[in-house]
Chain A
Amino acid sequence: MGGLTDTLFISASGMKSQGARMRVLAENVANANSLAKTPEGEPYRRKIITFENQMNEELGVHQVKVEDIDRDQGDFPQKYRPDHPAANQEGYVKVPNVKPLVEMADMKEAQRSYEANLKVIEASRQMVRGTLGLLR
């Protein structure tokens, strides 16, 4: 049964990574309107999560790990709001480089990957049940 238990660990690591991804996405969406307080300050910079396939020495299987949570280096869009404390001389305020559409698409993908991992666990479980059923 060694092989199938490994399967469960691998899928669980995949689900955990997708969970972490959802957390980062939620952070991005929640901060989509977090502006700076001063004209010199920066508004919220979008976060990007990356995964890697890593050997787990303890279990002897390759699992997915969160490699890094980086900041999106893209430029901040500007909005004309002359009365805002963070507005510059011309009256423009830097707004976060979060695009809700991109975040939503990313979220759908995370959800889909999570579901796929869940399905694999279900399939593996049924296979284990089948093997155990031989005893009956």
Chain B
Amino acid sequence: MANFNVMDALSRRIDWLQERQTVLSRNIANANTPGYRPQDLEEPAFEDTLKRALKPMSPEVTDSGHINASVPAREAPDKEKSEDTYETSPSGNAVILEEQMVKVADTQMSHQEMTSLYRKNGQLVKIALGKGGR
């Protein structure tokens, strides 16, 4: 079912956005903590995600003689990274409130977008099932 793949992708994006919101809130809460460097989540790369989606199979080890091949894990892109910012205050704090607020707004907007897409998809499924969609 192609639709459910979309739902899966959307819910993972929503998860990612929620995680990012947590990281951003930590940055803003620490806007006056000496020596604090802001962090952000790494944007998941489309290629990697696609590769994982196309090759979801992993070799099964059924015998102790098998070589255990490693396949990239499904949910990897939740990497926190330290950011390079425009300026650092004398106390060593590098959080710029404006920059962080823009990111919060961006995260919020994407989240809204994702949830409405998710809802729309649900409605499509409902139509297919012959209920609800008029």
Contact = CB atoms under 8 A, between A and B. Distances in A.
B25 A124 contact: yes
Interface string A106-117: 000110110011
Contacts of B31: 14, 113, 116
A3 B29 contact: no
B24 A120 contact: yes
A3 B22 contact: yes
Contact of B36 (A6, A53, A126): A53
Contacts of A127: 17-18, 21, 107-108, 111-112
A126 B108 contact: yes
Interface residues of B, number: 32
B29 A117 contact: yes
Contacts, number: 101
Contacts of B118: 134
B28 interface: yes
Interface residues of A, number: 36
A71 to B, nearest CB: 17
Contacts of A6: 22, 25
A118 B112 CA distance: 19
A117 B28 contact: yes
Contacts of B101: 116, 119
Nearest to B10: A134
B97 A123 contact: no
A53 B28 CA distance: 11
Interface in B44-95: none
Interface of A: 1, 3-4, 6-7, 10-11, 13-14, 17-18, 21, 50-53, 61-64, 109-110, 112-113, 116-117, 119-120, 123-124, 126-127, 130-131, 133-134
The 8 residue pairs across chains A and B that have the minimum distance between CB atoms: A14-B29, A3-B18, A130-B115, A7-B25, A51-B33, A123-B108, A10-B25, A127-B111
